[in-house]
């Protein structure tokens, strides 16, 4: 067979393949084995591949949505970080908070202030957040000093929350008693958020 005849035969085969592809493109001629002509030519189940692609695309979109929701939540928590104590060292900030309460009261002229060591526990239903409660008491103060102490505590950069606050007469003098709470992100929470 000379070169010209081989070229003609190849052209006829290519034209037949093109005609078969064009005819099978709009119709899904399924054979008894379950694949169309195009599937047999390419060796791939095209419908199955299209379904796999669509499923992968939906999964990708869902993951991206979840990632964006996580970033948004992380940013919100970061913005609200002033409301919490963040502690990445071993132990807890209990001593630091107790010292802060003591020094703040004394700087406002309340010399005999007593601050408990604090009662620490995990916030129910939230393994990454702890709360520490302190009792603050004094028997030797004037009302102006207590008001200054309360205002200063409300304006600290690390947030304290008042539980209850009582000023009552005890004999001939007044007594002050309050419960103060802090909320603490533990080390694991800080690692998960990836922010300090």
- As a whole number of Å, the end-to-end CA separation of the chain is 80
Sign of dihedral through CA atoms 137, 143, 146, 151?
Answer: positive
| pTM for this model (two decimals) | 0.58
- Name the E strands within the chain: 85-86, 114-115, 119-122, 129-138, 161-170, 173-185
CA dist 175 and 164 (Å) reads 14
Report helix angle 143-154 to 94-107, nearest 10: 140
Domain boundary assignment for the chain: 1-24+33-44, 84-193
Check whether 75 has a pLDDT greater than 90: no
* Residue 195 pLDDT > 60: no
Tokens of residue 136, six digits: 């603050």
- In eight-state DSSP terms, residue 84 is S
Residue with tokens 């591949």: 49
The answer on pLDDT for 196 being more than 80 is no
1 CA to centre of own chain: 74
Residue-level pLDDT at 33: 47
pLDDT at position 64: 92
Q: What tokens appear for 73 in the block? A: 């939540």
Q: What pLDDT, on a 0 to 100 scale, did the predictor assign at position 49?
A: 82
Q: For the segment 128-186, what is each residue's pLDDT rounded down to a tens digit? A: 888 999 999 998 888 899 999 999 999 988 889 998 889 888 788 888 999 999 998 87
**84 phi, psi to nearest 5 deg:** -130, 155
CATH of 84-193, one of 3.30.70.260, 3.30.70.60, 1.10.3720.10, 3.30.70.1560: 3.30.70.60
Model confidence over 7-54: pLDDT tens digits?
A: 888 888 888 777 777 766 655 544 444 566 666 677 778 788 888 889
> What pLDDT sits at residue 38?
66
> How are beta strands 129-138 and 161-170 bridged, if at all?
unpaired
The C-alpha atoms of residue 135 and residue 67 are separated, in whole angstroms, by 42
Look at residue 31 in the predicted model and tell me its pLDDT.
44
């Amino acid at each position: 067979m000379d070169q010209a005849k081989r070229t003609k035969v190849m052209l006829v085969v290519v034209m037949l393949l093109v005609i078969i592809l064009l005819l099978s493109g709009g119709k899904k001629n399924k054979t008894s084995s379950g694949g169309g002509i195009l599937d047999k030519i390419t060796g791939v189940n095209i419908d199955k591949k299209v379904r796999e692609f669509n499923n992968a695309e939906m999964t990708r979109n869902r993951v991206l949505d979840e990632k964006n929701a996580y970033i948004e939540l992380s940013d919100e928590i970061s913005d609200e970080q002033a409301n919490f104590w963040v502690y990445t060292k071993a132990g807890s900030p209990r001593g630091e908070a107790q010292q802060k309460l003591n020094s703040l009261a004394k700087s406002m002229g309340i010399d005999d202030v007593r601050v408990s060591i604090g009662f620490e526990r995990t916030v129910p239903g939230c393994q990454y957040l702890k709360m520490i409660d302190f009792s603050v008491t004094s028997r030797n103060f004037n009302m102006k000093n207590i008001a200054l102490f309360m205002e200063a505590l409300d304006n600290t950069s690390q947030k304290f929350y008042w539980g209850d606050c009582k000023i009552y007469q005890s004999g001939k003098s007044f007594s002050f008693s309050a419960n103060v709470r802090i909320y603490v992100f533990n080390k694991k929470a800080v690692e998960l958020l990836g922010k300090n």
